[in-house]
Structure 1
């Protein structure tokens, strides 16, 4: 058995791993796009989305979740001739068509006929699995391969994958199967404990080989109450400035969690002022992301996957993902009109817009229009990959000195002044931090004989290696 990494081994995007079972059979785990500096090969070239490895032995694809850095190369995978099943959770099977339809429109074609045919063909490949149930995938070269998906707590439908590879004996017993079996666990992206809406991930019963993400392997997040209070203070500051608070958000996961937290703040402080003459009850939340709106509808339909806290909120008659203070922007004309209106009025409000790393999406137009205004605040709640505009804004804000000084940010082919105040709350990233990752590993009853760290920058991987005692 061998594991080959086709992306995500040394960066935080482009996740794609191949579990080679035999000379004639392998399974892919994720097939995502590269972003930022992760797209650099280090040889003066760029990683492209096209599939540059042979598919003749690939029997199927296991999808851990539907973030674009884990699923964005699926159109190119199918274009390269892949015809196997796509095993994923039941929620991911509902979300994936929405995500890839949006991705294809942005990155490949706007031909509605082609998009419809691709989505139709992709849906036929989907093989949804319930959490916590082993499913035999097949027998190849005498090796039985089974899969079990477990809750990862990252976004709705996210899972870590347990793959059992066993050579059955003639008279198999439980003991003999254990001796002939290897369990390989791919973590995908693990969520942080106490993430709004979703249950916490629990460690697997067994992992002989563990392929573990390390995105925040060098950091510790704020606690739930700390980050919620920080969110409240950031909102208050922005509204006192009488400007907009811009939140670049990933359409799946962060948007829904932010809505949940903001609704809870409004419910708790309904009779208080968020700023002078602006009660919390009058706070306007603008959600400008067509994909996020469609995803939120799926979140609402799948309430049985929510955690106990969120279920209790609904039982009180509240609607944490759809409340009266929300203004929803759907079409592009309304988007442009909203940007122009805010540029002209600097109306105090919170804008949650698509484009988590600011490399594309509707947040870019808000940034171009408003980040030169010192009344504007920008809040990052997700990981900003090296080389993305989001990372550039964060780093520029950290190095900025002197009253009134500003720097320029390259954005969408132009250069724009940054005078806005920039904030970051890492706890809403929905990635486990170093403590969470270590606890996940230590929670496995028998320590893995091999751990491979992926999906992290060098500094984060090195720090997590030290925390786990992994020798380089």
Structure 2
């Protein structure tokens, strides 16, 4: 007789993207947690369409639980529905507002630009969305076989992000288990968002490990380095190019830049153009402002004091493609200092690539990475080879990297090793099993060693699985 619940993986177990995890409650009942796209080194460039197809069974899936709306966590939603999934899409209230915009953008890029088809798909998604308040148990199933409840808690990664607790009872066996899926946990002191608080406890923890092998800079340090990078642009008459995802990182950067501008004594800061060159990011900014009740206490104090951290005088948004091309050409040649925030965050596509193509070869400019750069992406190549005076290929053309290249790890939206350990050890009832996902092999190995050392020190028995058992991984 099979021992349930079981955890299986359809992505995110062997890399940093494509998160998709199955909690099998019985042979004919399961939950799915996230369903994301593979990106960077995790993606198969030769058969991307085939890789993203949902070949696993969806007939037994009772619900899709969404931790947050980044594309590597929900980007396979169109494929999931195409495979026949007809159940609810459960997420937080802010995520229910943001998700349709993310999926609309994904459809336009990867599927179709047919407005009618997109609207029809979005209508179907809207019908399935179930928005849950934080810190409230919600019953999914309560019958003669199972009692199944879920609760969403703030994860501090992006607005609406959640870690998900699943409380399951098998009435036949009497077995009860609490399984926690971390999604992506945020770092403390992230602008706009309250830090995640660990729960009382769980039996099984599926934990992200993106930065399981390192610690981030402190907020004061990262702000000082961000300020120094921009002051370099003021002196050189150059542009600071910041590749950033449209949701989450862009808003955090704007928050910090508004604070630096407000506090600056140098009048040049008031004249410095801060440019968002992403129509999608502009739309997310609007939604972030509408979701102000979910901001943290610090942000609310700024608003009460008359500050507007996502909308200030020297902030400009570039909308149309023609304006974008003119902006790139102007900044590349004019010598006017500017900060440009543009997607994508790993420079794997989007408008930021045009800035990089025009400016990487000019020492007046700088590229500032503020988030994870997956192996196999242009961002990772620039971060790796730029400080050595290397080169990259963009659009079939070799470009020598003469622009300054810097990385600020403190602006990562992910918890670091110290934060991940605290999430575990601050539970009153720590888990007996931890499955590390959403990280490369080195990060998982390093985090496992730290967890094992802590468990031995406090006398707590825990099994840490750093690499999924191939028999439990379903990556068809």
TM > 0.5: yes
Instruction: Flag as ranges the 4+ runs of structure 1 deviating above 2 A.
Output: 44-47, 410-417
Q: CA deviation at 1:344?
A: 2.3
8 A Cα contact 1:285 1:351, kept in partner: yes
What per-residue deviation string (whole Å, max 9, x for no partner) do you get for residues 211-250 of structure 1? 0000000011011111111111111112212110000001
Matches within 5 A, 1:91-110: 91-110=94-113
3-state DSSP of counterpart to 1:334: helix
Matches within 5 A, 1:56-455: 56-139=59-142, 142-168=145-171, 180-269=175-264, 271-273=265-267, 279-398=268-387, 400=388, 406-455=389-438
What per-residue deviation string (whole Å, max 9, x for no partner) do you get for residues 61-88 of structure 1? 0000000000100011111111110000
3-state DSSP of counterpart to 2:97: helix
Q: For residue 444 of structure 2, what is the aligned residue in structure 1? A: 461
Q: For residue 276 of structure 1, what is the aligned residue in structure 2? A: none
Q: CA deviation at 1:342?
A: 1.4
TM-score normalised by the chain length of structure 2: 0.92
Q: CA deviation at 1:253?
A: 0.6
8 A Cα contact 1:24 1:140, kept in partner: no
| Closer/same/farther in 2, CA of residues 130 and 412 from structure 1, 3 Å limit | farther
8 A Cα contact 1:242 1:347, kept in partner: yes
Q: CA deviation at 1:414?
A: 3.7
Q: For residue 174 of structure 1, what is the aligned residue in structure 2? A: none
CA distance in 2, matches of 1:410, 1:382: 21
8 A Cα contact 2:285 2:310, kept in partner: yes
3-state DSSP of counterpart to 2:257: helix
Q: Give the paired residue count.
A: 450
What per-residue deviation string (whole Å, max 9, x for no partner) do you get for residues 197-219 of structure 1? 00010001121000000000001
Higher mean alpha-carbon deviation, 62-71 vs 160-169, is at 160-169
3-state DSSP of counterpart to 2:31: strand
**1:6 lines up with 2:10 in the alignment:** yes
What per-residue deviation string (whole Å, max 9, x for no partner) do you get for residues 90-138 of structure 1? 0000000111111111111111111111111111110000000000111
| Closer/same/farther in 2, CA of residues 346 and 80 from structure 1, 3 Å limit | farther
3-state DSSP of counterpart to 2:52: coil
CA distance in 2, matches of 1:141, 1:12: 39
8 A Cα contact 2:55 2:83, kept in partner: no
Structure 2 residues not aligned, in runs of 5+: 453-462, 466-476
Higher mean alpha-carbon deviation, 118-127 vs 133-142, is at 133-142
CA distance in 1, matches of 2:37, 2:14: 14
8 A Cα contact 1:154 1:189, kept in partner: yes
Q: For residue 22 of structure 1, what is the aligned residue in structure 2? A: 26
2:42 to 38, 42, 59: 38
3-state DSSP of counterpart to 2:51: coil
TM-score normalised by the chain length of structure 1: 0.92
8 A Cα contact 2:44 2:51, kept in partner: no
8 A Cα contact 1:209 1:448, kept in partner: yes
CA distance in 1, matches of 2:390, 2:218: 32
3-state DSSP of counterpart to 2:37: coil
Q: CA deviation at 1:168?
A: 4.4
What per-residue deviation string (whole Å, max 9, x for no partner) do you get for residues 266-294 of structure 1? 1111x325xxxxx2111110111111111
8 A Cα contact 2:21 2:33, kept in partner: yes
CA distance in 2, matches of 1:101, 1:444: 38
CA distance in 2, matches of 1:196, 1:308: 10
8 A Cα contact 2:192 2:295, kept in partner: yes
Q: CA deviation at 1:167?
A: 2.8
Q: For residue 173 of structure 1, what is the aligned residue in structure 2? A: none
Structure 1 residues not aligned, in runs of 5+: 170-176, 274-278, 401-405
CA distance in 1, matches of 2:253, 2:244: 9
